[in-house]
Amino acid sequence: MSFNDALKFYKQGNTFKAHQLLQEVVQQEPKNENAWALLLKTSTDAQEQQRVVKKLLALNPHHPAALEYQSQHHQNLSAESSEKIYEMLWDCEYCNAKKLLGKTHRFCPNCGAPQDANARYFPEEKDKVAVQDHQYFGADKICSACGTANSAKAEFCQQCGNSLGDGKAVKQQTEQVQGRDGKFHAINEKPTESKNSNGNSTLIWLIVLGIVLVVGLWAVLFWNKEVKAVVTGHHWQRIIEIEEFGERQKEDWCNVKPSDAYRISKEEKVRSTRKVADGQECTTHKIDKGDGTYAEKQECQPRYREEPVYDDYCHYSVNRWEVERKIETHGDDKKPYWGKVSLAKEGNCMGCEREGDREEVYQLLLKQSDNSDSHVCDVEQELWQKTPVDATFKVNVNLVTGGAHCGSLKLIK
């Protein structure tokens, strides 16, 4: 296959087939820029796209398709990494003033009490106050003398003047993430969901059903007992397949139909699906910076949808040998024989016949000694031939199904 073949399928709208051929072309022609560029267009896998772009840039550092992809990729990255800074809130425990600003109000503007850094909390959407030109120096330090929270860059406490050399960083609030319900919750907790007693009940029943199925399967496979069984008779069957050469109606994907097919008709059918980019799914995180502010960061992941991939499906005729009839013999004695083969016409012509596969089955008829249950076991011809009526075997019988495990047959001498 060549690049031109792949390009032909691409122009016809069959990107699935074009992509398949291009994967072969770039292996045979690893320096073919056009093939790599078209492979990038037909690919729907993000990892493969990145690999193709890397190869294109290695071949041509100024390749427009690769640079365009790289530019879009970088734009997405910058959008994902953007964050905004807002003030944490705190409540004064002395005068009960509410929703004071974590960075602006180091002391309560109502009564002058120092801020309790450990009491800071994330605001609701309507209470958010953005911080302009914020410079971050690190989490606040707690004065060991008076317990006041000070900026990380301060050397002495703004409340009592004590040295902050041994000051410990304030405790930061657990990061929060926005759930599908639109509410924020701690990142290590599951979002609150409405309880559904019916759902819980269904889950419990599914678990119980699963346990029952596992126990039942184990019982069917392994809960056996060994019993004695006596041979009460023999049965045999022999089959000869007779094949006829003729016109057969077949159907398959057009690219795998046999070369000698004729009377071909085509239709378009869904052969597979592919993932197609369909926007992004974004999650907002709130991260306590520890200095009276928090960062609100949005993380986005690409969202994909399944899209059908169509291909040509063929209905056709082809001349083939197929089983037309069978010659069968059987009996309950120990003298098996093959039936007489009579062919209507020999050769490779239309309507000619030939002998196909042969099949033979030999069975022992058994009856349990303890409860007279009957069993039929397929065995090798040699064992079948030398086993007389009234011979006794040991055999494992399943206590659930009552069936015999014929592979466990042991002749009692």
- The mean pLDDT of 7-29, rounded to a whole number, is 86
DSSP secondary-structure letter at 107? B
Q: Is the model's pLDDT at 192 over the cut of 60?
A: no
- Domain ranges in the chain are 3-81, 176-221, 242-325+346-353
pLDDT score, position 193: 46
- The mean pLDDT of 279-284, rounded to a whole number, is 79
Distance from C-alpha of 321 to C-alpha of 245, rounded to nearest angstrom: 4
Where is average pLDDT lowest: 107-121, 122-136, 179-193, 198-212? 179-193
Q: Is the model's pLDDT at 194 over the cut of 70?
A: no
pLDDT score, position 71: 67
Q: Is the model's pLDDT at 49 over the cut of 90?
A: no
Q: Is the model's pLDDT at 70 over the cut of 80?
A: no
- Residue 19, classed as helix, strand or coil, is helix
pLDDT score, position 84: 87
Give per-residue burial for 63-79: e unless 16+ CB within 10 Å, then b: bebbeebbeeeeeeeee
pLDDT band at 262 (very low <50, low <70, confident <90, very high): very high
Chain segment 81-123, per-residue pLDDT in tens: 467 899 999 999 999 999 999 988 999 988 989 999 888 999 9
- Residue 263, classed as helix, strand or coil, is strand
- For 350, residues 6+ apart whose C-beta sits below 8 A from its C-beta are 245, 246, 247, 319
pLDDT band at 199 (very low <50, low <70, confident <90, very high): low
Q: What share of the chain is helix, strand, coil (3-state, %, to 5)?
A: 25, 40, 35
Contact present, 308 and 250 (Cβ < 8 Å):
no
Answering whether pTM is above 0.95, one says no
Chain segment 316-365, per-residue pLDDT in tens: 999 999 999 999 999 999 999 999 999 999 999 999 999 999 999 999 99
Q: Is the model's pLDDT at 260 over the cut of 90?
A: yes
pLDDT score, position 146: 87
Q: Is the model's pLDDT at 168 over the cut of 90?
A: no
pLDDT score, position 76: 43
pLDDT, the chain, mean: 86
Phi, psi of 65 (to 5 degrees): -65, -40
Using CB atoms within 10 Å of the CB of residue 380, give its burial: 0 to 12 exposed, 13 to 18 middle, 19+ buried. exposed
Q: Is the model's pLDDT at 68 over the cut of 50?
A: yes
Between CA 171 and CA 182, with CA 177 as vertex, the angle to 5 degrees is: 135
What is the sign of the dihedral through the CA atoms of 99, 103, 104 and 107?
A: positive
CATH class of the domain defined by 3-81: mainly alpha
